[in-house]
Amino acid sequence: MLKRKPVRRGTAELNGYTARRLNEMAMSLSSLARSCTDGDRGGKTLSREDGLTAVKNAADLVCGSCSRCTIFSDSMREDNYFLYYLLRAFEQKGRIEPEDMPQLFLESCGQKREYIEQINRSLGRATMNLAWKNRFLESRDTVIVQFRELAVILEEFARQMEEAEDVTPSGERLLRWTFRLKRIRLSRLLILEYENGKREVYASLRMAGSGCMTAKDAGKAVGQALGGTWVPSREGRSVITGAEAGYRFVEEGKYRMIYGAAGIPREGEEVSGDSYIFHTALPGQAVAGLSDGMGSGAAASGESSRAVELVRELLETGFSARAALKMVNTVLLLSGREEHPATLDLACLDLYTGVLEMMKMGAAPTFVRGENGVELLEAGELPAGVMRDAEPALLSKKLWDESWIVMVSDGILDALPGEEKEEILKEYLEGAEYTQPQELAEAVLAFAGSFEGEPRDDMTVLAARVWKR
């Protein structure tokens, strides 16, 4: 690890200025989110005002100067129950029938059919307006969530900029010398070290002669000079040529994670309703995710695969895992997925610190095996796409060398006998012997499948092995 030295004034001022600007942008987004939340929140049902308007319109169009009934005047009273009954009857049946009206009205009104028809028309328009208003508010809520989460991202990035230390002086001389041996010319250099120990190198490079070198090989040269294992960023150029260009190198974390997956669809189905991802493109982070679509077959597969793909795209964009899950929940709601919700189970490992963060929305428990046996990480049972304000459950655990993570869909647990299904799988994992994640995933699937002839639900196992470099 490089020794920390005083920050150079130019870099410190630039980082401070950048952090302040990002914080100002975050505050602006937060203010926009608060502004959007002001005002009418709307409602899910017809209001008393909607009922009064319907009764008044019917009276204006039909009654004229007739005063045989007192429906309108009685409805104006706060303690009148008929108006409430009228609205609930319309919501349940979609229209008002003669039997819903007072007996006095039915006996005395000579235009009761037209009167009831006018009420139905007014309440129908009010219902349509309410639906559009609620749809607008749902879209507004999505924008609010985006503003808030973007504000969090900017604040986090600003904090990282403020805490980043410029350690260029301690490594510049050795790095220039190493590059010179490789016939690489270095004109500008910045080495940053972050709070969690992560280091990054920003350099302007070109080849001294007519040859070229891959950025991957240049990353190895950075490791020779500064220690550790370095790789070029994925968004940068892959080859160093005679034309000068900027390159970014990132030090890989101390931990590694590999995974294996095994699954089988429900009996009679060609595809499984479960989907999973394993993502290592994020800097300093490995992500494993599992989604269980409601039901089985192609429809469930579409819902679960859509959920995990949305999570992957948001993580690549820069959203935190928690923010990504909340955004996916909102998207599934707005796209009409209430009838086909999907669970979401996300495991995020910080490759620098070895800290595992589990984010769950309706997912089955996760089993983590370490030095002290197998531990269960479990949360609530509400799937994504069911409630707008659903919060993903966040669970954290420090992992060490040779830790194992096992994520399963509900079909695995449902196949096990007895009531204490989690304990049965826990005991199996404590006694099982395995060396590779794929081997473990297949073993767990075979173990669960041994208790029933044909699978009654989609069954998926995602196993991961974590070790220290």
Say yes or no to pLDDT of 371 above 90: no
Say yes or no to pLDDT of 350 above 90: no
| Euclidean distance between CA atoms 100 and 406, whole angstroms | 58
* Mean pLDDT, residues 100-123: 79
* C-beta neighbour count of 421 within 10 angstroms: 18
Say yes or no to pLDDT of 331 above 90: no
Share of the chain above pLDDT 70, in %: 80
What integer pLDDT is reported at residue 332 of this predicted model? 66
Q: Is the dihedral of CA 410, 416, 419, 423 positive or negative?
A: negative
Largest CA distance in the chain: 105
Estimate to the nearest angstrom the gap between the alpha carbon of 357 and the chain centroid: 13
Q: Which has more confidence, 75 or 162?
A: 162
What integer pLDDT is reported at residue 419 of this predicted model? 87
Say yes or no to pLDDT of 278 above 50: yes
Burial of 67 (0-12, 13-18, 19+ CB in 10 A): exposed
For 109-118, 224-233, 436-445, which range has the lowest pLDDT when averaged over its residues?
Answer: 109-118
Closest to 25 in 3D by CA, of 206, 121, 154, 149: 154
* Mean pLDDT, residues 110-135: 80
Q: Which has more confidence, 178 or 69?
A: 178
Give residue-wise pLDDT tens across range 398-444.
988 899 999 999 999 999 998 899 999 999 999 888 889 999 999 99
Say yes or no to pLDDT of 342 above 80: no
Residue type present at position 21: R
What integer pLDDT is reported at residue 320 of this predicted model? 66
pTM for this model (two decimals): 0.67
- Beta carbons within 8 Å of 169's beta carbon, 6+ residues apart: 5, 8
For 48-52, 302-306, 463-467, which range has the lowest pLDDT when averaged over its residues?
Answer: 48-52
Give residue-wise pLDDT tens across range 242-263.
999 999 998 888 898 999 999 9
Mean per-residue pLDDT over the chain, rounded: 80
Say yes or no to pLDDT of 467 above 60: yes
Say yes or no to pLDDT of 330 above 80: no
Give residue-wise pLDDT tens across range 258-268.
999 999 998 88
What integer pLDDT is reported at residue 336 of this predicted model? 52
* C-beta neighbour count of 452 within 10 angstroms: 15
Say yes or no to pLDDT of 133 above 60: yes
